[in-house]
Amino acid sequence: MTCLMASIAQRSRPLVMGIVNLTPDSFSDGGDLYRGDQLDLDAVLYRAQQLIDEGADLLDIGGESTRPGADKVELATELARVLPVLEALRGRFDIPLSVDTSSPELMVEAASGGAAMLNDVRALCRPGALAAAAASSLPICLMHTLGEPQVMQGNPRYRDVVAQVTAFLRERIEACGEAGIARSRLVLDPGFGFGKTLEQNLSLFRALPAFVAEGLPVMVGVSRKSLIGAILDKPVEQRVYGSAALAVLAAQSGVGIIRVHDVAATVDSLKMLEALQPE
């Protein structure tokens, strides 16, 4: 078991994963780390330091926006965004780094560059991804999504969203096993907002205890997402409280990692929940 997976198993509350988007077009903070059309490495380092100071347990860096309607990113662009940042963060901070990618080539480079985890919104479905992940020996998060970002929110339909997402993740676990990836390296993510309506997202959230019961760590990423906006009627920048509330509810369901933009609010909320647990 890797140090990161052991940390998930041993902690009394979920790990908080701070988001570092290296994209100009992500739904919440796209372009925040850019100066003109160039990624600003100093801004990235400042953002990482801020998240660490706020209490992040690990950081997730990604060079491809997967928001609904996002344009496809060429491999060369993704590599150019992520690899220099991975090197800079590794040289500056002693914190586990997750790389958010579906590209086998970046998985290989990230593993050799010191990443602690791979986070794939396409659950290793791209050609070559299973082999690249297997060779890395890193923990891997498998997420469910319905279609590519360009079309996934067009008209998502399920007979039973919980049953179908569960079946998909079980199939990917089996595929990983056949590729030589040990079950002990896997984390599951139901994929909130990735090809789901508001009601489908809520059904998945209510079913978190069932996903946890699959016996693998579960990661939840609902930070600032449209499901919060739809319920609260708030724009992206005013969804911090809704995000923190869902983080507490996810923790009560037994999830292992919570992926967030607003680390301080999340950490404070989880500390209060932890303090109120029976001794």
**25, two tokens:** 């077009």
In whole angstroms, what is the distance from residue 68 CA to residue 251 CA? 26
In whole angstroms, what is the distance from residue 125 CA to residue 123 CA? 6
**Catalytic machinery residues:** 225, 259
